[in-house]
Amino acid sequence: MSADDWWKHGIVYQVYPRSFQDSNGDGIGDLDGIRARLNHLVSLGVDAVWISPVYPSPMADFGYDISDFCDIDPRFGTLEGFDALVQEAHAKGLKLILDFVPNHTSERHPWFVHSRSARSDAKRDWYIWRDPAPDGGPPNNWLSNFGGPAWSFDEVTGQYYAHSFLKEQPDLNWRNPEVRAAMYEVMRFWLRRGVDGFRIDVLSQIVKDAQFRDNPLNPDYVEGQDTFLRWTMLHNTDLPEVQPIVAEMRRVVDEFSDAHSSRVLIGELYLPLPRLVAYYGLNAQGVLEGVQLPFNFQLIGADWQAAHIDRLVRDYEAALPAGAAPNWVLGNHDRARIASRVGPRMARLAAMLLLTLRGTPTLYYGDEIGMTDVPIPADEVQDPFEKNRPGMGLGRDPERTPMQWSADANAGFTTGRPWLRLASDWRTCNVEAQSRDPDSMLALYRRLIALRRACPALHRGSYEALEAGNDVLAYARIGEGRRLVVLLNFGAAAAPVPQALLPRRPLVLASTDPARAGPVDGALVLSPGEGVVIGNEGAEENQDPPV
């Protein structure tokens, strides 16, 4: 086992803390709730839990507007409670990854309070301030991700400040070395408390153009689309100056790595593939000095077709720098749930895809029981993204609803009123009910994760693309002298599998169809939406065949 094994070959599970488990009846999930549910993660078989922000916050953007980077919001608990969570997670063999939000603070953060107090204040340059344009308007045409200009005017000092998101989230000036030093100390604060790494929020946006030039028109913009798409974000995202900062962040976490366990950086990066892989930070000496896992979100927006996914997997594998660890993501707190995007049967296929591709998989809480997006009435909307840009369908509340644990009141999530409404199926779609059903989605996830952990070919082996027809995605996973074949039917019709792809005496090791198990007798025909992992009936431990 190497120090990197846990993040290279393990599984990450994302917890959205407001929605995982409430321990005190206020309707909002908290740290003690997460601690009470760690056994679920252990029984599922994951290796690390990533927790979205739990810092003190006015909650204008539900924790991504941070007023103190080195404490815990009382809604979620205390620093002592956080320490207890880290300790218990480690005792159960789980790593803990914390969200790090470097792009901005809350407007109520003491740094910004000082910064906006006067142009002469020592922290003025910790944020991005500019004089108005000649017409008195914003300094340039940059837009906020949450709608409107990326600039707000401050009456006290007569300048605009930049904010890539809400006006309550002013952007830090990462060109200022004092800002960088202060944020690196934030990282060290949590690393000293035992966290095993960070998921870095909107990493590509932390540096803006020094000349504050207007963004150019997007040549692909179509009238009627979201106005945010009118401009190409050339001058306020993915600038070359980001890369040295990423290398500095990496050196900070490397200070806390040792021979037994390395600390990890995971970057949130919605970028084209050539730019995404640049964040691995391959330097001139061939050393990777960037984030170890630049999040690969291709499956979130992919056309759900075998040929399309086959192409993106091949392209991704080919683009990876030497020594880089791949990773895959099906969903998160900002995107519609996989079961809503592709339907319940295809969500089972997606689970097999995620857990058999080469690289680190990230699971989003609730996907293991097939949770779907929950329609939120207009008068119950919480997400500022939806409130600021109504009618665009951008709200993220539907994928953030409370975890469904049991058929007890409020799905076992809270004894109070949940902060968001529950799905209508919570009485039947929950962890407790699915734990008793061997054909459930939860049972499938547990079987696939157990198989992945048991087979080196799956958790550390190489990837070989195979050809199996238009609707079947086929590939082999090879490692430690063994070979497994994965076959996924994305089509709406039954699909015969070419005999040449199957090993001698083929054995179904896992299937998305509960009715299929054991040796393959004769031709193998996959049902619509069925996936299988094939080994060899005579292989060691009946798991996989010799290469």
What DSSP letter does each residue of 313-371 carry, written as one string? Answer: HHHHHHHSPTTPPPEEES--TTS--HHHHH-HHHHHHHHHHHHHSSSEEEEETTGGGT-
What DSSP letter does each residue of 55-114 carry, written as one string? Answer: S----TTTTSS-S-TTS--TTT--HHHHHHHHHHHHHTT-EEEEEE--SB--TTSHHHHH
Residue with structure tokens 């008195």?
136
The answer to whether 418 and 27 have CB atoms below 8 angstroms apart is yes
Q: What phi and psi, each to the nearest 5 degrees, are found at residue 251?
A: -65, -35
Distances (CA, A) of 38 to 221, 366, 396: 46, 14, 25
201 is catalytic: yes
Give the H or E element holding residue 301. helix 298-301
The answer to whether 86 and 195 have CB atoms below 8 angstroms apart is yes
Q: Which of 99, 107, 201, 399 is catalytic?
A: 201
What DSSP letter does each residue of 454-485 carry, written as one string? Answer: H-HHHHT-EEEEE---SSEEEEEEEETTEEEE
Query: What are all long-range contacts of 106-111, with beta carbons under 8 Å and residues at least 24 apart?
Result: 106/57, 106/58, 106/60, 106/65, 106/66, 106/67, 106/168, 106/169, 107/65, 107/167, 107/168, 107/169, 107/170, 108/58, 108/67, 108/168, 109/66, 109/67, 109/68, 110/67, 110/68, 111/182
Q: Which of 185, 255, 315, 480 is catalytic?
A: 255
**Rounded CA separation 413/399 (Å):** 16
Residue 139, helix vs strand vs coil: coil
Q: Which residues have a catalytic role annotated?
A: 201, 255
